[in-house]
Amino acid sequence: MRIGVLGSVAAWPSANGAAPTDGSGSDHSDVAPPGLRLRGLLARLALDAGRPVTTESLVDDLWGDEPPDTVGNALQSLVSRLRRALGSQLVVTVSGGYLLDIAPDAVDAGRFGRLLTVAKAAVDPAAAASTMGEALGLWRGPALADVRRLPFADAVVNRLEEQRAAAIETRATLGLSMGDPAAGLDAVTDLLAAQPLRESAAVVLARGLHATGRQADALAVLDRTRERLAGELGVDPGPELTKARLDVLRGVPAPAPPPPLSTPEPVRRNGSAALTSFVGRHADVERVRSLLGTARLVTLLGPGGAGKTRLAREIVAGLGGRTETPVAELAALTGPEQLAGTVLAAVGEPELLVRRSDDGAPDSTARLLTALGDRDIVLVLDNCEHLVDEAAALTQRVLEAGSRLRVLATSREPLAVPGEVLHPVEPLDTAAAVRLFADRAAAVAPGFVLDAGTAPVVTEICTRLDGQPLPLELAAARLRTLSLTEIATRLDDRFRLLTSGARTALPRHQTLRAVVDWSWDLLGEPERILLRRMGVFAGGATAATVERVCTGAGGPDRADAFDLLAALVDKSLVVAVPSGDSGPTRYRLLETIRDYATERLAEAGEADAVLVAHAAWVVELAEEAEPHLRGADQLRWLAQLRAENDNIAVALRRATTRRDGPTAHRIVAAMGWSWFIRGRYEESVTWVEQVASLTPSGVPAVDARNLAYQVLGCIARGEVEDAQARLGTAIDAAAAAPEPRHPALQLIAPLGRAFSGDEPTLLVELSRTSADPWVRAFATQILAQLAENDGHIDEQRTLVRQAHELFTATGDRFGLGMTLGSLGELEDLAGNPDAAAKACDEAVALATELGNDDDLPQFLLQQSRLAIRRGDLRRARELCESAADLASGPFGVQTMVRCTLADIERRSGNLPAARRNLAMADRDLGNGLALEQRQALVAVIRYGVEDAAGDRVAAIEALTEALAAAERGHDGPVSALVVEHVAGFALANGDPEGAGFLLGVALAQRGTLDHGNPDVVATVAGVEDALGPAAAAEAVQRGRDLPRPEGLAAVRDHVAVRSGDQARLR
């Protein structure tokens, strides 16, 4: 199998497993399965071909911050479907994850990377150009074109597209050096059109145009790029573009690389040789080397233990040429007076240290400037943070004195020198962190092997240590005395655990605590107070929240908080995370820093007070947001709650652990509706049940709301008896709550009575008299559903339209989604597919906006059924599989997905696949809400499969089972669905009069026949053709005149007669 990600995700069968020789894939049919997350899973596994990918990584990469409640089942479902598409032998289950069992070269991205490496290593330019061309030929379009919405895609796409861009430029440059300047120019032209601010592409294109005699075009390219840089970024062009423009103006050809000197002088490189492997920073190396081509000061910025020193040495080690790369190690310096002398020694002029100025005083800085002169040097200033002011001043002086000097600094905070370019040293990604740990582990524990058994624990360790190299190395060193599992367990006390650094390392790099202590000791007291108080946050916080929770009570004033926060960001102790949706920047602590801050908070005796402040803020946020969740501003407030999901969860956990009933009750009462409209039913039910055992809040409206949510949770799980047992208490509490009463308290009695089978009198009254327009809308929509269930379709249509108008007025997208779903079903029943599709499309858009992972798959299934009815089985399958990616929760969506897939397979002629899906639907039935309705649906689809297989006995048995489930469920539309199938069966077996009668029974159950279903339309036409219009109408009317229970009993008798007619059946 060959996998493609350089374009849309694709999979091509290959007899010998060879990688594609080009990007077309035209000689093989693409067998990659449809569906966003399914293709995303294939791509994600392919990008690590032959290596395990943990379940945790896959969940993060496919769902991000919004995984479904039953994410394990959802992932397993995707894996099963991928195995069906590719073959079970390719997608291998390993401990803690999965592995795509193919060679990296069988993935076009892997082959692309290997060819780039070969091209870069080639001595012959022609060979390099040929190999580079082969690599570029693998691209079929934008990388991961059809899965770019998934969380993992952006970083991968950026990396691959940057490699592609660099390869295009290199290919063109090679052509220029070989006397073929036109080679690759079209590709560079396209690249610059796509990235008009890319200076390197502009330079390559201009030199190529110049070499082909098109001087005016070359100048136009350079001038256009220069104007864009000034107009859009407000910056001047870099030296390469400036030089290229001068060369074109002067008619100077592109510079050739200088010939090697016959007796080259040694180049000073006083960095020590690496003693261990370098892992996971190769993109950083390339970027910083590129930056050093245009910037004179680049600072590697990151927290202690991020690997800044090692990265700096790797960067300068590969600069080559005549560039000197002295390294000045500043960590051991104890005072600013030592700084210039240390740098002077590093650049190789120690004898100047003993010389004196004219007045007899030593002047190391002056001597340093003399020593540097105009030498081609990249000077590394390593560990500047404890002398940051002095290092900044010295750096500015040496840069101003020598035009060819460049400085690469490492620091925990910027030097803030004019022209400084910052390169943040981010944590290693999971894969690189795992490789680093494995390398270091193998060095200290020779028996260690990274395999399916060890990978999950290693991944956990790497994640909990934030992907930071030094803590990972300290953890790996513990394998001399502890097992992997013991190390992972002891990370709860990481500062005691990670104390085994190298003896030759600086003291502050020998233990994890020493690493963080070094940064802590450089802070002022106000910064320390703010940092330790920020340890209460989970998932970070906005600046406004930090000001709200972490100031006062002996700490910094609110007015000073942001400046202190910015200082902590500059010092790499707080991470600033820009919002991707124009929201406020968030500020978070890496887990190690958070643990350290929590320790310091406890030592300061502030923990209780700050935890109380954090809980009070969570309560305030949730209660402020709650009323807005039913109006036009709900998306903004939902976004805030979603961003603070970790903080809300940790506040709830702390409150329940501390038995703080009032706080826990208030959070749950305020969050209940948010969880509901986002499809987070399991989360809601879990918290509602947990707080039920705690002391009430003492606020009647809050406690009454949680009692109401207990009843609604029982209904959602199908636990009708439990719901009825709790209903009386909830109704009494709601009645005792003060006005104005929350919508849940207004609705609990009417809803409870209606779902208990009572007449909906209270609901009707509420729909007309409530002062809250949202309550009137919701009550009206529930009345519409009850009318649907009773077969009163005209009343249902009227009520749904009324509810839709009311929800439109309130701006509630959740309510609009409900009414649009109902309107879509009504239009479908009426045989208006275009109107039905329009309503469903709008419902899908609204559910997507809300992030409602329960309603969205149901609306996708509606779209899938519409596609089935118009004969577009491919589109139906895509929609159904998208629904399967999301299906979870207590409402049986998984069962409906399986039934729809089974129907698609049956219509496609794949009866074994249809039966497999039905078996999974049976497995997913469980209990819960609408169990009988789901049982009826499974049986109806099974009837279709057995009928298609020609097994009339099994088909009759399925119809009998479907009818029994429909009678138990007392659901008019479901009963009508079953009876319509019985009518079709009767007609097919020579009983048109019985079929007409059964159509009448179905009409009475639902209030209409399903005029959007081609099978029902065919049954109606068949009855009329066989009996004539008048007799057919009479037969239908006989069925319609029967009361609904008697009608179903008559259908049961009809099926029983058919079941006994074995000769006819066979």
81-90 pLDDT, tens digit per residue, is: 888 888 777 8
For domain 523-605, give the fold: Arc Repressor Mutant, subunit A (1.10.10)
Element (H, E) at 933: helix 931-949
Q: Whole-angstrom Cα distance, residue 512 to residue 472?
A: 10
Tokens standing for residue 341: 């002398």
pLDDT of residue 314: 84
pLDDT of residue 271: 52
pLDDT of residue 245: 85
Q: What is the mean pLDDT of residues 864-873?
A: 94
Q: In which band, very low, low, confident or very high, does the pLDDT at 258 lie, cut at 50, 70 and 90?
A: very low
Q: What is the mean pLDDT of residues 959-979?
A: 93
Q: Whole-angstrom Cα distance, residue 980 to residue 1001?
A: 9
Residue 796 reports pLDDT greater than 50: yes
pLDDT of residue 22: 45
pLDDT of residue 644: 92
pLDDT digits (tens, 9 = 90+) for 921-952: 888 787 667 788 999 999 999 999 999 999 98
Residue 297 reports pLDDT greater than 50: yes
Q: Whole-angstrom Cα distance, residue 877 to residue 885?
A: 12
Q: In which band, very low, low, confident or very high, does the pLDDT at 591 lie, cut at 50, 70 and 90?
A: confident
Dihedral sign for Cα atoms in the order 526, 532, 537, 541: positive
Q: What is the mean pLDDT of residues 508-528?
A: 80
Q: What is the mean pLDDT of residues 31-49?
A: 87
Residue 18 reports pLDDT greater than 80: no
The CATH class for the domain spanning 1-180 reads: mainly alpha
pLDDT of residue 908: 92
Q: What is the mean pLDDT of residues 589-601?
A: 88
Q: What is the mean pLDDT of residues 185-206?
A: 87
Between 668 and 377, where is the model more confident? 668
Q: What percent of the chain has pLDDT over 70?
A: 90
Q: Which CATH code of 3.20.20, 3.30.1050, 1.25.40, 1.10.8 fits the domain covering 853-926?
A: 1.25.40
Q: Whole-angstrom Cα distance, residue 67 to residue 72?
A: 10
pLDDT of residue 210: 85
Q: In which band, very low, low, confident or very high, does the pLDDT at 266 lie, cut at 50, 70 and 90?
A: very low
Q: In which band, very low, low, confident or very high, does the pLDDT at 986 lie, cut at 50, 70 and 90?
A: very high
**Lowest-pLDDT range of 437-441, 542-546, 694-698:** 437-441
* Phi, psi (rounded to 5 degrees) for 888: -165, -175
| Single-letter code of the amino acid located at 1064 | R
Q: Which of 21-25, 422-426, 887-891 has the highest mean pLDDT?
A: 422-426
Residue 431 reports pLDDT greater than 90: no
Q: What is the mean pLDDT of residues 989-1001?
A: 94
pLDDT digits (tens, 9 = 90+) for 1028-1061: 999 999 999 999 999 999 999 999 888 877 665 5
Q: What is the mean pLDDT of the chain?
A: 84
Q: In which band, very low, low, confident or very high, does the pLDDT at 955 lie, cut at 50, 70 and 90?
A: very high
| pTM given for the model | 0.67
Q: In which band, very low, low, confident or very high, does the pLDDT at 360 lie, cut at 50, 70 and 90?
A: very low
CB 1058 within 8 A of CB 1052: no
For domain 772-847, give the fold: 1.25.40
Residue 486 reports pLDDT greater than 80: yes
Q: Tokens 């870069």 — which residue?
A: 120
pLDDT of residue 265: 37
Q: What percent of the chain has pLDDT over 90?
A: 37
pLDDT digits (tens, 9 = 90+) for 88-104: 778 888 767 888 888 88
CB 1041 within 8 A of CB 932: no
CATH homologous superfamily of domain 296-424? P-loop containing nucleotide triphosphate hydrolases (3.40.50.300)
**Which is it for strands 405-411 and 541-542: parallel, antiparallel or unpaired?**
unpaired
Q: Whole-angstrom Cα distance, residue 786 to residue 779?
A: 11
